[in-house]
Amino acid sequence: MRNGRRRRRGHENLEKQLQGYRLTTAEIIYRMPDYQTLLQSYIWQEYDLAPKFPELHRFLDFWQQNLDGPIHQVRVASKQLITPIELELVGSEFRVH
């Protein structure tokens, strides 16, 4: 059962990458709710569409509406893992015994 879920998740990730999604990592620096002078770091990682990053914006909107720690700074890094040049269809296959 567990392997089936893992395989499905892997297929979903590959499909997203083929649709142009990139692995996106954001470091969210926020102020502690009770101690505003202290900063804390949170790492968020998901597949997202650059350069608008709708998934990240959705998460940050959720954060601002539901969490007490105000966001101080967000750093974003994004990398396209599969590019069209890396993915090629094979026309034929030859086997030598």
Reduced DSSP (H G I as helix, E B as strand, rest coil) percent helix, strand, coil of the chain, to 5: 30, 30, 40
How do residues 29-71 score in pLDDT, each as one tens digit? 999 999 999 999 999 999 999 999 999 999 999 999 999 999 9
Residue with tokens 């102020």: 31
pLDDT, mean of residues 10-36: 89
Whole-prediction pTM: 0.73
Domain segments of the chain as ranges: 2-79
